[in-house]
Amino acid sequence: MKITAQEEYGLRCIMHLARVPFGETVNVRQIAECEGLSTAYVEKLLYLLNRAGLTESVRGAQGGYRLAYPAEQISLRQVLEALGGVLTADNLCNQFSGDREICVHHGGCELHSVWSFVADYLAVVFNRITLKHLADGEARPLVPSFFSRSEQTIPLAGHQPVQTAQTNSEER
Amino acid sequence: MKITAQEEYGLRCIMHLARVPFGETVNVRQIAECEGLSTAYVEKLLYLLNRAGLTESVRGAQGGYRLAYPAEQISLRQVLEALGGVLTADNLCNQFSGDREICVHHGGCELHSVWSFVADYLAVVFNRITLKHLADGEARPLVPSFFSRSEQTIPLAGHQPVQTAQTNSEER
DNA sequence: TGGATACTTGACTTTTTTGTAAGGATTGAG
DNA sequence: CTCAATCCTTACAAAAAAGTCAAGTATCCA
């Protein structure tokens, strides 16, 4: 389980935009310099973000890129999605099917439920974290508070008297 | 953010071992056949698991592989670690440092706290899930129960009582 | 003892991901 | 109008990961 370079660097680029006043543009060269990346690479990353509609570009002299929406309206999930796709459990059994057409565990895959669990959790978390949270550093102090309560809420350890009649989709 | 092929397939291989009575061996060919993988690949994956001490091998005729410990004593985390390393936030800023020696955000990286958050959570979850849970399918019904309670426990949302209302940033 | 079975390991090939290059298109300034 | 600044897009090269191969070594059992 890993974070790809494209996700990490792309996120840094859009964070760079999130840190300037909304509406102001920043050009590729500035971002590349500040983030320690090549201009060619930054261009490519911004191309991906732009294509996803998260940023806008202004061409010509004095041009550059800026966020398409205020930072508090862009979620981490949208950014990661634009940069290479989010982990979704449904695709895993298709993606990793060995040399068969479909997953050998089709219909009774033990792993699917675990990846669902993980992927759904991440989707919720990433949906709620916005670029503004990140820019303001608000994520940091929240980590410990999560852990102090998590001991009672992480499911697998304890019981399972649960009804499954819930839908857990969370869209913006 | 993605799960690597090695993790997915390696996990399936060790799950195969977890499903037979403890102490019994299964040979590579059987696993490869059931899981739809090449024997060469299964050999490599089991080599990794073996090296990490999670499995034992028995050579010679009627030999094969078996778990080194009962399935309830082997965590998902141990398996993933053996198969390619778990996401740890501390290494991310080193791994992705651009063309500089160290991360350009050294000392004030907004992303670090998020990846810490994610990585720490996953570590806890993966530590608690054992191969026995997986083999018994216990993970499945627990997913909804997580979501029913998670709404109160996911930190980033509830922590800020909408203080962004006053900032009337001009619309573009 | 010797052949059959099966694990062991490093090198090799293929595929995917990263990152670079290059030329094109659009805009604004003078 | 012209030109330079800047974005846009595709193609390609380099690096890393995935997966295969093959030549081992160890063990069992007749």
The DSSP result for B7-59, as a single string, is HHHHHHHHHHHHTSPTT--B-HHHHHHHHT--HHHHHHHHHHHHHTTSEEEE-
Which pair of structure tokens corresponds to residue B30? Answer: 């059987």
Instruction: Enumerate residues 39 to 98 of chain B having a beta carbon within 8 A of any beta carbon in chain A.
Output: 76, 80, 84-87, 92, 96-98
**C-alpha closest to that of A129 among B86, B124, B115:** B115
Please determine, for residue A165, whether its predicted confidence score (pLDDT) is greater than 80: no
Residues 6 or more apart in contact with residue A51 via CB below 8 angstroms: A82
Residues 6 or more apart in contact with residue B165 via CB below 8 angstroms: none
At A89, the pLDDT band (50, 70, 90 cuts) reads confident
Rounded mean pLDDT of chain B?
A: 77
B153 vs A1: CA distance, rounded Å: 24
Nucleotide nearest to B30 (CA to C1'): C6
B8 vs B5: CA distance, rounded Å: 5
Residue A45: the pLDDT is: 97
User: A165 beta carbon < 7 A from strand C?
Assistant: no
**Which DSSP helix (H) or strand (E) runs through A12?**
helix A5-18
Residue B84: the pLDDT is: 83
The answer to which of A13-17, A86-90, A160-164 has the lowest mean pLDDT is A160-164
Residue A83: the pLDDT is: 94
Nucleotide nearest to A39 (CA to C1'): C20
> Is B12 in contact with A149 (Cβ distance < 8 A)?
no
> For chain B, which domains are there?
5-151 (1.10.10.10)
